[in-house]
Structure 1
Amino acid sequence: MWVEVEDIEGQKDSAHNWITVTSINQPPVAEFTFTPDKPIIGEKVKFNASVSYDPDGGTIINYRWDFGDGNFEFSNTPYINHIYIIDGPHIVKLNVSDDENTSSEEYTKIVNVVTDWSYAIITDLHIGRGYPEYNREDYYLIERLEKTIDEILSIKDENNIKFVVVLGDLSENGKLEELKKARDILDILNDPNGNGNTDDGLPYFPVIGNHDVLITEGDRINFTTVFNNEFFTKQFEILKIEESQWELDSSEYVNYAFFIGNLNFISLDFVRNNFYGLSPLGRNGKTIARFPFVPRKSISYWLYSRNSGVESIVFPYYYGVLNTIAIISSIFDNLYN
């Protein structure tokens, strides 16, 4: 730094000295968001700390999470998931550090794991009934389904709806185009805004009905072509859970199960389109409940192993299979002991 002075007679003098300016490393700032805002037991909570920043332009390299339930995690990315097994408020704390080993102050938010939640049921779509030209915009069954979906989406937040069960019959005759049309409309639940973002959407789970396999005896290839493994993978991703299972076989079963909110939800496929040895159900005695041993062992084991102290909700498409479900429940001990 140079300094020059001059007196009233015009005499000048100057001096200089070196000053070293050292920048002070500013600590980073920790922040995060999370979804869903009202999680339940067994639901995956997604934490996002990408809004954290370093004021002096450094890079955040470490994230230390305290989830408020006795669990801690360290990560080098801002995204992390956590599942709570206890309800109530949990104080979540985040500390971050930058590439100069400076740590932030602690940032906290409360995640309130709630017990009040719900799911919605849509039943008996029968797409294709009454009109062969059911792709018309004024087709009443399509209009009815679209209005139902709009209503569910409009109340999902206030009722904390987590998923939708669509009970058969989805189609009238099990035709491929009928089932595709049903899925096209139901997919609005996944992506209400039509922009590919499912964060504001709901997963849905179809339960096969007798009308959905009316094309050929014992053949459900149309159903599993439309509601395939890719479909179920997507639904469980939207549902944000980890404990789930499904089995699809075009000639045999459409079974799945998942655990959420301290409940098992199980859909067992009891529908067959030809006589199979039990009391006839449905029209003309063609559709009947399956034998008690028909659900595959992995799904049966799911119900058996998860059923100890855990309530289970089983979705059949038709009340007439309840006796068969009771028989299945009574033989689980014999299956696995």
Structure 2
Amino acid sequence: MRTELKPTRLDRVFSRLDREPERPAHIDVPVMTRHRVVLFSSTLAFYLAIVWAVIITSWLVRLDWQIMFFRPYQQWPEIHAFLDYYVVLGQRGPTAVMVAAWLGWRSWRQHTLRPLLALGVSLLLLNITVGAAKLGMGRLGPHYATEIGSNEMWLGGDIFPSGHTANAVVTWGILAYLASTPRARRWLSALSAVTSLGVGLTTVYLGTHWLSDVLLGWAAGLLILLALPWFEPLISRAEAWIFSLRDAWRDRRTTAPAPAPAAAPAPAPAPVGTSTLRTPGEEAASVRDTGIAARAPHAPIVPLHLPSTPHLTRSERSPVTPLGHRRPPHADRMTRGTSSARPVAGG
């Protein structure tokens, strides 16, 4: 019986990713439509209304004090440990790292820097707008309130608007903003809204923010997401500039300068007083030597093979020295064993 392995869900996901080596063409960049302009204007009006209601110490400030005296962390202490971890979803450092890791992988798969650049622009706008509002209004939190019923404005605090809430709206909402399909955008929008709502209410439960701080934080984060289409041309130019730098760096690495050819050695000058006339054999040898010297330094030299000869034994080899005694014959020397021919000198 033949059994075949069925592909798992993870295998199907990776096979689909392998079919997307380039940037998908169906991803459209959001533009500032009339509907988005209306939403931006309405959110901005809500933002200004919250600020004005706190400045004039309206019913919203009285509601802040009533919730503060209610002390939710004492009413439901059993969920305190869980909410201490849940509020981390609104902290800028951990959430930025998690979302940047996902968007970085998506940028690598789709060969585009737009997700990371959009995240960077949104976080930059968040730091500028929310930070300026915090320092400008200087409101104190519930744990540092000085006078019951007051708005605690311009006293050196930094909690108005809520940074946790605004960061949760922007960081998780950017996933919905960068979604590639309308269905994914709807689901991610609902998920980011629930997450940011839970983070804001958690800060009220823990007593670190007023309720009005949370309302203003929601409005501040939503304003940044609605204003992102105005920065899309800047994101496109930054992406094109970064890619041009990358291409120029690659071109510098691939185009290396070619090495200069080695110069042929100059022939040695002839000694003074010698004749420059050469025989045909010497001329051919000189041409052959010059060609070998001018050959490229790394060109292989082909050895000359002599015709093979049969191997002879030592006794069969022809002598290479003349036969007889090695010393040349001298006329005044006598052979051993012969008497001298000199006359005997007598008396």
Q: TM-score, normalised by structure 1?
A: 0.19
Structure number having the greater helix percentage:
2
Structure number having the greater strand percentage:
1
Look at both structures and tell me which one has the larger radius of gyration over its CA atoms. 2
